[in-house]
Amino acid sequence: MRYTVAILLIAAAMPAPARAQVDAALAGTWTLGGEAGRGGRGAVPGVPVATRLVIKVAPGQVTVDSNTGSAESIQTAVYKLDGSETTVPGPLGWTVKAKAAWKDSALVVSTIRSLEGPNGPIGAEIVDVYTVTGDALTIERTQGRNKQKLSYKRQS
């Protein structure tokens, strides 16, 4: 019993984990850095690029509002961080499922899009890796052999 109490007191005295710092760094409003913000080998086919992101971080989930909808309307994706799959917005007629997790100091979101085609289901997997350095957010997007690097700046 004494050992349990001692361990709990030591744990309570420890500084907040680094994860909380990562969470705080990712949260905010981000704007695409102009044409220079679209690095890599060009756009990933069929995946719209948001020019503005609003990211909110809460225990167990990350919410991303982006202007990737029809006529740049805002779409909201909620990513659970417990490893479970969630349905997120996507193109009309497509089913879009995503899983998200922290990997070191990056948020990794794996999305699978599927559509029932005339010859059976078709689909695509897209992986977005979100990293923050100072007031810069970088999203490295991969779909098959296509890669794209998007650079965003934090808005005050």
- Chain segment 102-138, per-residue pLDDT in tens: 998 899 999 999 998 899 889 999 999 999 999 999 9
| Residue 19 reports pLDDT greater than 60 | no
| Residue 50 reports pLDDT greater than 70 | yes
pLDDT for position 36? 46
Single out the residue of 100, 91, 154 nearest to residue 129, CA to CA: 100
HSE at residue 62, side-chain half, CA atoms within 13 A, is 27
pLDDT for position 53? 95
Classified by CATH at the fold level, domain 2-155 comes out as Lipocalin (2.40.128)
| Residue 69 reports pLDDT greater than 70 | no
Which tops the pLDDT comparison, 11 or 87? 87
pLDDT for position 91? 82
pLDDT for position 93? 85
Cβ-Cβ contacts under 8 Å for 115 (sequence gap 6 or more): 93, 94, 95, 121, 122, 123
Share of the chain above pLDDT 90, in %: 57
Domain boundaries along the sequence of the chain: 2-155
pLDDT for position 20? 56
pLDDT for position 54? 96
